[in-house]
């Protein structure tokens, strides 16, 4: 299951991605926003993180968060244990974010990248695999900030 | 005070940035790594976050975290309340990360951007101002994940 959410600045990009995901036979849950009315991206980041974390197969669930730059979404999402949110602006970052960081949420900026690049990034993000090994040691540190 | 840290993949970029910051009269504290020996970036992210948060003028302190893509550093750093870590690959993202997200840590990828671009990004990051207003409402959400 792919969860997706955006703020008002990225609504149009979200629509494009939802169509692409459905066309490619992914199950998609669009968590809003649904209009161009101004909203707080933080509210949508929290909502999506809770869906990803409470999903029955949460280790298989993925999320896509869209705002103006992707940065605000990533700060909010990475507050949650179990979430590994990656700001990506190109395919290589998307690839490495999964291979090395086991990213489960992709953060894209609607005012940073165009639609076609966004689709290419999403495709790689959803098809790469975590490499494990020494990267697993590091990923395990993410949820242990007090050690 | 500018705190800076990197893993082994970004040691050389860190050296360039430290020279630049000192040349530009910033007070700099280099928290390592200091050799090319393989390390866990997560350890350096934690160390730097603690320095930024415990700094006497923590609202004025800034951090720079460098790894292969910047993504791993940003995931780890954003686990900490009070830290707002931004992955930036261009000057516009650096500008918006401060204006809208009040970012206090900049995350750069040594294998994503070159030295000159990194210097341009750092310069903007250190000279922009948070815009406040509606962005302050959102930034205040970052540390309230249970609301």
* Cβ-defined contact of B46 to A141 (cutoff 8 Å): yes
Calculate how close chain B gets to A38, using CA atoms only, in Å: 10
List pLDDT tens digits, range A92-145.
999 999 999 999 999 999 999 999 999 999 999 999 999 999 999 999 999 998
List pLDDT tens digits, range B45-90.
999 999 999 987 777 899 999 999 999 999 999 999 999 999 999 9
Strand, coil or helix: B66: strand
Distance (Å, rounded) from C-alpha B88 to C-alpha B95?
Answer: 9
Q: Is residue A101 less than 8 Å (CB to CB) from chain B?
A: yes
Q: pTM of the prediction?
A: 0.97
Residue for token pair 């242990």: A144
List pLDDT tens digits, range B98-127.
999 999 999 999 999 999 999 999 999 999
Residues B63, B4 contacting (CB under 8 angstroms): yes
Distance (Å, rounded) from C-alpha A121 to C-alpha A108?
Answer: 9
CATH class of B2-141: alpha beta
* Cβ-defined contact of B141 to A69 (cutoff 8 Å): no
Q: Please tell me which of the candidates A79, A141, A142 has its beta carbon nearest to residue B142.
A: A79
Q: Of B8, B49, B88, B100, which one is the catalytic site residue?
A: B100
pLDDT, residue B117, reads 98
Domain boundaries, chain B: 2-141
Residues A106, A86 contacting (CB under 8 angstroms): yes
Q: Residue A146: pLDDT band by 50, 70, 90 thresholds?
A: confident
Residue A30 half-sphere exposure toward CB, CA atoms < 13 A: 18
């Amino acid at each position: 299951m792919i969860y997706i959410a955006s703020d008002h600045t990225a609504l149009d990009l979200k629509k494009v991605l939802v169509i692409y995901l459905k066309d490619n036979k992914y199950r998609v849950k669009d968590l809003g926003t649904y209009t161009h009315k101004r909203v707080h991206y933080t509210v949508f980041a929290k909502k999506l993180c809770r869906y990803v974390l409470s999903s029955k197969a949460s280790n298989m669930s993925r999320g896509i968060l869209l705002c103006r730059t992707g940065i605000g979404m990533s700060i909010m999402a990475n507050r949650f244990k179990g979430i590994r949110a990656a700001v990506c602006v190109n395919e290589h970052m998307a690839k490495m974010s999964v291979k090395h960081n086991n990213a489960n949420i992709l953060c894209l900026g609607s005012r940073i990248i165009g639609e076609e690049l966004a689709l290419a990034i999403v495709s790689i993000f959803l098809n790469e695999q975590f490499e494990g090994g020494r990267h697993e040691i590091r990923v395990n540190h993410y949820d242990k900030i007090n050690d």
